[in-house]
Amino acid sequence: MKENADHFDLIVIGAGAAGLSVASGAAQMGVRVALIEARAMGGDCLNSGCVPSKALIAAAARAQAMREAEVFGIEAVEPVVDFPKVMEHVADVIAQIAPHDSQERFEGLGVTVIRGMARFTGPDALEVEGRRLTARRFVIATGSRPAIPPIPGLEDAGYLTNETIFDLRERPRHLIVLGGGPIGVELAQAFRRLGAQVTLVEAGTILNREDGQAVGVLRQALLREGVNVREGATVQAAGRGPDGPWLDLDGDRNGDRIKGSHLLVATGRAATVEGLGLEAAGVAHDRKGIAVDARLRTSNRRIHAIGDVVADAPSFTHVAGYHAGLVIRQAVLGLPAKADHAMIPRVTYGAPELAQIGLTEVEARKAHERIQVIRKDLAENDRARADRATEGWMKLILHRGRPVGVTIVAAHAGEMLAPWAQAMAAGTRLSKLSGMVLPYPTVAELGKAVTGTYFSEKLFGNPWVERVARAVQRLVP
């Protein structure tokens, strides 16, 4: 170890979405930054999360479109899926984005990129591969990793996670997906559309955080496309036979055994805090992750934590970017900034997509004594009719005339949610949204139709409004 430490203004641990955003922003403002990463630059989102999963989903959607073409007067056919080429497509998408997150780019921005595992040795110092570093401030952005449940025999069974499934070059004959959260649902549907037999196993109900009615629409789509959905199924044991892994459900080893060729474990995420030496740094943490205050500061005020490693924070790439902006304001510009997770949008990229911001209907009924729920079916939208994509709806949840939640289950629901994320963050009044002029025909008009329903219920059939209207007809020339 060197006697004299290398000193920086800011040291960022982790080169995923959160860490990269902080490092690039701070460096371009003249701050001396070190960025430490032991694994691939770009983190989970680029290499094993958002990017490869959406590329796979896009390929699966093309295959499904061929099966469903008859409604447009085009002969439906069963697609011939060249699975190795599909996975080459996934790898190519990653490769196209990778230069933006590369070590070379960040060194070009003036960031000192150090490869290796970081370990705190004190409240203001750490080591990387024997190199001692100190800084005025630190940012921990180490993200999360797949959480593996303690099921007897699971290690012997052999399993994939989101970190390894995109390395496949042979299509699974029968993919067992353990876990019915967003990752499990998305990949179960994608692999089914690409021709694999798929069984989805969930101890409770799939997507149990989301609006139950919206989940019902997506569940029916999964079943219709041939995914075997097993909800309320507790896995008692796992193992491996001659043809691949198996799971025993509900303790009946002989009667309810699911056998597959591959097993994907998608049972949640765990914060990556192992080996960081957080005790030496005086950083409080538990199994959920690192504890922070509203300013994302840890119990050591020199150290911020952002992204998936933060306990109880939403685990999304867009939240990581949001956290990064808050830290830059504080650590670089000296401005106050506090995190508010109340209006963080989220999307499950199934077909149809399920998008949510704010409270679900169930959450809103628990939080408020009285709410108003307005729902419009996609079947009422002309663009959806033209696209033959009328499955789904939008639900607006109001409290005292102000939106507190929006749920959309539809094709491209994530895109449809965007104006609502902006409106709810800015506190835009419903009258402004109702008065927007949107191009016709677009599915975005469904949102305007929802706001129009709110006002039409107040205007049409109202005796006071009718009296005013009649008076105007008599008195105004």
Q: Specify the amino acid at residue 33.
A: V
One-letter amino acid at 56 equals L
Angle between the N-to-C axes of helices 50-67 and 182-193, in degrees from 0 to 180, rounded to the nearest 10: 40
**Which residues contact residue 148 at a Cβ distance below 8 angstroms, ignoring those fewer than 6 apart?**
154, 159, 161, 265, 267
Q: Which residues have CB under 8 Å from 223's CB, separation 6+?
A: 229
Binding residues for NAD(+): 179-186, 202, 268
Cross-strand bridge partners of residue 115: 37
Local structure of 367: helix, strand or coil: helix
d(CA 153, CA 157) in angstroms, rounded, equals 6
3-state helix, strand, coil in the chain (%, to 5): 40, 25, 35
Q: Work out the burial of residue 135: count CB atoms within 10 Å of its CB; fewer than 13 is exposed, 13-18 middle, 19 or more buried.
A: buried
Residue type at position 147: A
Give 90's contacts (C-beta < 8 A, 6+ positions apart): 52, 55, 56, 59, 166
* Distance separating alpha carbons of residues 377 and 237, to the nearest angstrom: 43
The one-letter amino acid code at 356 reads Q
Instruction: Read off the amino acid at residue 57.
Output: I
Read off the DSSP letter of residue 5.
P
Binding site, residues? 54, 142-144, 179-186, 202, 268, 308
Binding site membership for FAD: which residues? Answer: 54, 142-144, 308
CA–CA gap between residue 146 and residue 307 (Å, rounded): 15
For the chain, what is the radius of gyration of the CA atoms? 25
| DSSP output for 236-267 | EEEEEETTEEEEEETT-TTTSEEE-SEEEE-S
> How many Cα atoms are found within 13 Å in the side-chain-facing hemisphere of 196?
25
Nearest to 86 by CA among 1, 196, 194, 161: 194
